[in-house]
Amino acid sequence: MKSTGIVRRLDELGRITLPIELRRNFDVNERDPLEIFVDDDKIILKKYNPADIFTGEDMDDLIDYKGKKVSRKSIIELAKLAGFEITEA
């Protein structure tokens, strides 16, 4: 892991400010969602990219169904598995 040499303190609400250099380098803008991971004693932040719940692939054509992201491709495959005849447009 590479050190940036930047140290930040948590405020009274547990927040930190990401330096502008990091936000620019990682294309993180105001209000962008960040995903939080834990790896042993490390906290890892990653810019959130929604993915299909079935394949895990990042996709542009995701549909929100009951709070879950599903691609059109997965929906078509599931419909075919369920026995529906699908004509793709």
Q: Which residue numbers in the chain have pLDDT < 70?
A: 89
pTM of the model: 0.59
**pLDDT 10s digits, 66-88:** 988 899 889 999 999 999 988 87
CB contact at 8 A, 46 and 32: no
Burial per residue of 40-58, b for 16 or more beta-carbon CB atoms within 10 angstroms, e otherwise = eeeeeeeeeeeebeeeeee
Query: Mean pLDDT over all residues of the chain?
Result: 90
Q: Which domains does the chain have, with CATH numbers?
A: 1-48 (2.10.260.10), 49-89 (no CATH)
pLDDT at res. 89 = 64
Cβ neighbours of 71 (radius 10 Å): 20
